[in-house]
Amino acid sequence: MKKAFTAVAIVVALAASSFSTAQAGPAEDLAAFQGYYAKLFPNVPAADFKDGAYALDAALKEQWQTMEEFPPYEPDVDAGKKMWETPFKDGKTYADCMGDVKAVRGKFPHYDAEKDTIATLEGALNACKTAGDGEGFMDKEGKPLLNKGKIAQLAAYIAMEGRGGKIDIPTPEGKAVAWYDKGKNFYYAKRGQLNMSCADCHTYNAGKKIRADLLSPAIGHVTHWPTYRSADGEITTLHNRFMGCNTMVRANKFKAQGDEYKALEYFLTYMSNGQEWNGPGSRK
């Protein structure tokens, strides 16, 4: 009898917990997510999270600001501007697909209801180029190159022109919630031989050091892309960083602009609502 009672109690408890999980929608997640970091870093002004790990350490921040005096991404911005202004084979330009360059950064990512997908900046640029040139961004072998190279340079120019705007992703509704959930699940799932989730490093241990690296909080993760990393010696996209962090835990990495990373970007960008767009970025 007691056993049966316990079993029932467990079932009820499980039902209750899954009920409360179902109740917690994106808006509740957002409040909890941002509240968590506000509590973890009471001395960091909310607006500073866009600076990643540099927001947490004054000495690191100073080094970084010195680096920013001669921005390492400047040549990339110039190259991107040229691309933006150069007509495609069909005579059209990026502005024909994307509109005023100043407003482009803030339009992405968003849920595209017609295609039931997440539209990203790089995805839209690639589609625009494909329409105008008959081919998208490719490497020398003709394979799609969407995580660095020219597409990152073009995105650097767009980010520069869009600086100062605020992230303002509408709360996911309807079918967009499935994309949001996909990204959220990706963020919290343990993966790879080293068995770590994004959250292990960038939520639960944000502000701690892993070896010599100070772990950045996930709020602000999306604000400053593309980013020139000294360690890479080139400018790369957010999805390239996802690939790097997946590889670090010896997990499979996914394709840049594939559904996994688009969903992850959508989730993380919504979690950064209110932060300023401050790309392109530089990191050591």
Contact footprint for other proteins (CB under 8 A): 17-18, 20-21, 24, 29, 32, 35-36, 39, 148, 184-197, 199-201, 203-205, 208-213, 231-232, 234, 236, 240-241, 243-253
Residue closer to ligand HEC, measured from CB, 154 or 243: 243
Residue closer to other proteins, measured from CB, 81 or 202: 202
Among 126, 147, 203, 227, binds ligand HEC (CB under 6 A): 227
In angstroms, give the least distance from the CB of 239 to other proteins: 11
Closest among 73, 201, 181 to 118, alpha carbons compared: 181
| Segment interacting with ligand HEC, rule: CB under 6 A, options 23-31, 32-40, 134-142, 246-254 | 246-254
Catalytic, 201? Answer no
CA distance 124 to 213: 33
Residue type, 43: N
> Are 154 and 80 contacting, i.e. CB atoms less than 8 angstroms apart?
yes
> Are 218 and 202 contacting, i.e. CB atoms less than 8 angstroms apart?
yes
Report how far Cα 217 is from the mean position of its chain's Cα atoms. Answer: 12
| Segment interacting with ligand HEC, rule: CB under 6 A, options 21-29, 69-77, 121-129, 208-216 | 208-216
CA distances from 190 to 193, 203, 254 (A): 10, 13, 15
Among 44, 196, 235, 271, binds ligand HEC (CB under 6 A): 196
In angstroms, give the least distance from the CB of 254 to other proteins: 11
The neighbouring-strand residues paired with 210 are 213
* SS3 state at 166: strand
Among 92, 207, 249, 254, binds ligand HEC (CB under 6 A): 249
Tell me the chain's radius of gyration from C-alpha atoms.
20
Total residues interacting with ligand HEC, rule: CB under 6 A: 21
Residue closer to other proteins, measured from CB, 84 or 266: 266
- Taking phi over 0 as left and psi of -120 to 50 as alpha, with beta for the rest, 220 belongs to left
According to DSSP, residue 50 is labeled: G
Q: Per rule CB under 6 A, is residue 271 in the interface with ligand HEC?
A: no
* SS3 state at 109: coil
Q: How, if at all, do strands 227-229 and 281-283 pair?
A: parallel
Among 10, 13, 127, 210, binds ligand HEC (CB under 6 A): 210
In angstroms, give the least distance from the CB of 246 to other proteins: 8
68 contacts which partner out of ligand HEC, other proteins, none, CB within 5 to 8 A by kind? none
| Segment interacting with ligand HEC, rule: CB under 6 A, options 6-14, 64-72, 106-114, 239-247 | 239-247
Residues 44-73 that bind ligand HEC (CB under 6 A): 52-53
CA distance 153 to 147: 11
Residues labelled as active-site residues: 245
